Amino acid sequence: MKEIRVGNGFDVHKLSDGKKIRLCGINIKNNKKLIGHSDADVGFHSLTDAILGALGEGDIGIWFPPSQIKWKNANSEIFLKKSLQLLKKKSFLISNIDLTFICEKPKISEFRNSMIKIISKICKIDSHKVNIKATTSEKLGYTGREEGIAVFTTVLIYKK
């Protein structure tokens, strides 16, 4: 029997006045921006953490600590690619990815297909193995007040 593992990732970033938001590698025009040490791509951060979790390799903060200046404004694709290098090194493959945005704006459905294409290309998996969805928090809490965006990701991996 092949070894199968599940990983969960969660990330949240605060919003402030701005001109664009970067989500899963896509720059989206918006009247707010996400605040973070890197590019604050909450989607890629959550996915990276899910992969690292499935591998038993800690989290994004261990590999890319915000205390290190070299990660200031870094493209989060770097973080995702590192988790994929570890995945390959340990002889695992991704079975599927399920990523959920929790936000009032932007409306993720407009960007869903582009995000799936980017993730499937970076992860080198078929696009039908990547699912992206979104929900609001019914105007409750920090996401409901549009103070931040949260993402929860689950990934299933298996040994080659």
**Which residue ranges make up each domain of the chain?**
4-159
Whether omega for the bond prior to residue 106 falls within 30 degrees of 0, making it cis, is yes
- Mean per-residue pLDDT for 71-90? 95
Q: What is the DSSP string of 21-65?
A: EEETTEEEE-SEEEE-SS---HHHHHHHHHHHHHHT---HHHHS-
- Among the residue ranges 42-51, 67-76, 126-135, the one predicted with the least confidence is 67-76
Residue 26 above 70 pLDDT? yes
* CATH number for region 4-159: 3.30.1330.50
What's the confidence (pLDDT) of residue 25?
96
What's the confidence (pLDDT) of residue 70?
86
- Among the residue ranges 64-73, 117-126, 138-147, the one predicted with the least confidence is 64-73
DSSP one-letter code for 90: T
Dihedral sign of CA atoms 61, 6, 131, 138 in order: negative
* 139-148 pLDDT, tens digit each: 989 999 999 9
What's the confidence (pLDDT) of residue 104?
93
d(CA 82, CA 12): 20
Place of tokens 């582009």: 114
**Residue 47 Cα distances to 18, 67, 129, 143, angstroms:** 24, 21, 14, 19
What's the confidence (pLDDT) of residue 1?
66
* 81-111 pLDDT, tens digit each: 999 999 999 999 999 999 999 999 999 999 9
